[in-house]
Amino acid sequence: MGNTGSKENIISEEALNEYVELTYLNKVEICQIYKRLDDLEPGILKQNLHYRFSVKQINKILPQIHCNPFCDVIYRVFSSKQDGHLSFEDTLDLCSAFSMNCPQSVRAAWAFEIFEIDPSGADNIAPQEFTQLLSKMSDFAHTFQFKIN
């Protein structure tokens, strides 16, 4: 993994390159996310890269999301199993969508998913969803992107 701060190749170079291709994150950011998750439960990702962390655990490594007025909905949208837990790849997807490098068009698509508070399958936002959105909107613009440090 080169100069990522790790002495062990936890993520193969091939997998790391694939994550770079599939996200708007760079290798350093991906390794930082891995390390933060690994620090929550040391060694678990080495045993099972698909391990699912609780939202409470994710809040510890991504306080930017925890402070977002849409945090519950964000976690639901990015949880691949919609089980209140996120895997390493779910967390990469979340961080990628909120990264400074994510194009506006991609960010807008994710925002629409987040705004669809009641995922009833309709292709529009219901009036009650719109009302709920407006009540939370004042903080949303400031919390829809962050930088991984």
Q: What is the pLDDT of residues 134-144, one digit of tens each?
A: 666 655 555 55
pTM over 0.85: no
- 6 — pLDDT class (breaks 50, 70, 90): very low
Q: In angstroms, how far is the first alpha carbon of the chain from the final one?
A: 18
Chain centroid offset of residue 145 CA: 11
- 44 — pLDDT class (breaks 50, 70, 90): very high
Q: What is the mean pLDDT of the chain?
A: 84
The fold for domain 13-144 equals: Recoverin; domain 1 (1.10.238)
DSSP string for the chain: --SSS-SS--S-HHHHHHHHHHSS--HHHHHHHHHHHHHHSTTHHHH-TT--EEHHHHHHH-HHHHTSTTHHHHHHHH-TT-SSEE-HHHHHHHHHHTSTTS-HHHHHHHHHHHH--S--S-SS--HHHHHHHHHHHHHHHHHS-----
- Among 28, 6, 94, 20, residue whose Cα is nearest residue 58: 94
